[in-house]
């Protein structure tokens, strides 16, 4: 199918502003019926969904059949290191992002090339499975005393190094036929708590954040997708976390940072947010998120979210289609043996 035909068919019936997970390695009859009725904008896979290459390809086909669209986004978190849903021995164990930051201090050129090649290999692996969006790179800047939920998932603590390596990761993924997702905008690195379990608070003033945390996102604001941070930035909004804060989304993410790509929430089932799932979802969209992400595959929660959400807005659909225009539908085949050998040589040389 051509890109033009793909876009037309996707827009014929505008999808709901949601990305959903599923419970296991194949869809139940109830899940298939729900997804057909709800028609979400996309899907996301986790380790519970990934047993073997053939099984993942079959699951991806099942998901796409539910919404009757061959190019519907299927996402995964395949950063490398400890955040990798596809694991050895079935799939390559990619290094954590911080490896490339460490290399950059000794051999900057080699680090950029290595980050790009590693990401292209990830993209190649995902493309072969039918997965077309990777929730990477992490552009958060860890600071002393912050929670280790980010840790070695971050490329570096220097915003300029992070931006340079982050762009290399984005370029590598796109060369493999996969769109990147910048996370966690406008910056999760100062968090002293894990937003999976509680709401972190950041008290730094806007002037400091603009020079540090926001900067990598500003330098990559031309990328197609980004994911919000469930953090409370008290100097920006005293009561609402970024994901549900019109102030943070409109004034900072869209304004100061200048990001005008597709903005998805982080997983709204995380405990940093309060309230029932449907209210969380509606609040994220009302604040300015284009699409809500819900990951755990819980049918009761997904039903409540679907009931709370309308189809994607015209602006959100336009952002999605701009991102799709950046996707390489026919990436050049990658010589895996050469790529692995070259990456190994770069890292050893550095």
- Please report where in the chains the tokens 């596809």 appear, as a residue: 86
Which residue(s) pair with 225 in the sheet?
A: 181, 262
266 a catalytic residue: yes
196 a catalytic residue: yes
pLDDT of residue 350: 63
- In this model, does residue 193 exceed pLDDT 90? no
3 in Cβ contact with 325 (< 8 Å): yes
pTM, whole model, 2 decimals? 0.95
Sheet holding 16-20, edge to edge: 262-264, 225-228, 179-185, 133-134, 74-76, 40-45, 16-20, 292-294
- In this model, does residue 262 exceed pLDDT 50? yes
Fold of 15-349: TIM Barrel (3.20.20)
Q: Residue 23 to residues 29, 50, 59: CA-CA distances in angstroms?
A: 12, 11, 11
Residue 9: pLDDT band by 50, 70, 90 thresholds?
Answer: very low
Which listed residue (30, 196, 203, 345) is catalytic?
196
Tokens of 298: 């819980």
Largest CA distance in the chain: 55
Q: How far apart are CA 120 and CA 261, in angstroms?
A: 22
Residues 16-51, buried b or exposed e (16+ Cβ, 10 A)? bbbbbbbbeeebeeebbebbeebbbbbbbbeeebbe
pLDDT of residue 67: 95
Tell me the average pLDDT of the chain: 94
Segments making up each domain of the chain, as ranges: 15-349
79-128 tens-digit pLDDT: 999 999 999 999 999 999 999 999 999 999 999 999 999 999 999 999 99
Residue 12: pLDDT band by 50, 70, 90 thresholds?
Answer: low
The residue among 144 and 46 whose pLDDT is bigger is 46
Rg for the chain (alpha carbons), in Å?
19
The bridge status of strand 78-80 relative to strand 16-20 is unpaired
Alpha helices in the chain (DSSP H): 3-12, 29-38, 53-67, 98-106, 108-129, 159-175, 206-211, 215-219, 246, 277-287, 299-308, 314-324, 336-349
337-349 tens-digit pLDDT: 999 999 999 998 7
- CA 233 from centroid of its chain's CA atoms: 21
Which listed residue (124, 156, 266, 267) is catalytic?
266
198-230 tens-digit pLDDT: 888 999 999 999 999 999 999 999 999 999 999
């Amino acid at each position: 199918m051509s890109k033009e035909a793909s876009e037309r068919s996707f827009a014929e019936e505008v999808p709901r502003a949601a990305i959903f997970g599923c419970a296991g390695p194949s869809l139940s009859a109830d899940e298939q019926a729900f997804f057909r009725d709800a028609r979400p904008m996309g899907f996301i896979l986790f380790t519970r969904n990934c047993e073997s290459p053939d099984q993942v390809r079959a699951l991806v086909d099942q998901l796409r059949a539910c919404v009757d669209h061959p190019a519907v986004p299927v996402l995964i978190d395949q950063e490398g290191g400890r955040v990798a849903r596809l694991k050895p021995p079935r799939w390559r164990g990619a290094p954590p992002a911080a490896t490339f930051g460490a290399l950059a201090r000794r051999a900057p050129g080699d680090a950029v090339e290595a980050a790009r090649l590693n990401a292209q290999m990830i993209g190649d692996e995902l493309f072969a499975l039918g997965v077309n969006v990777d929730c990477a790179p992490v552009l958060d800047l860890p600071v002393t005393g912050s929670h280790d939920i980010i840790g070695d998932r971050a490329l570096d603590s220097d915003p300029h190094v992070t931006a340079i390596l982050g762009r290399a990761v984005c370029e590598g993924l796109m060369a493999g036929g996969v769109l990147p997702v910048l996370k966690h905008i406008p910056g999760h690195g100062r968090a002293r708590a894990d937003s999976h379990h509680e709401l972190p608070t950041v008290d730094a003033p806007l002037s400091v954040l603009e020079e540090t945390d926001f900067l990598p996102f500003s330098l990559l604001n031309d990328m197609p997708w980004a994911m919000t941070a469930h953090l409370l930035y008290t100097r920006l909004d005293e009561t609402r976390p970024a994901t549900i804060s019109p102030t943070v989304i409109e004034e900072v993410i869209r304004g100061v940072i200048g990001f005008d790509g597709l903005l998805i929430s982080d997983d709204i089932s995380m405990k940093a947010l309060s309230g029932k799932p449907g209210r969380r979802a509606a609040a994220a969209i009302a604040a300015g998120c284009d699409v809500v992400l819900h990951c755990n595959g819980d049918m009761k929660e997904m039903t409540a979210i679907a009931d709370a959400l309308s189809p994607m807005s015209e602006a959100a659909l336009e952002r999605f289609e701009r991102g799709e225009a950046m996707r390489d539908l026919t990436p050049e085949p990658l010589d895996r043996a050469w790529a692995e050998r070259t990456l190994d040589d770069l890292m050893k040389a550095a």
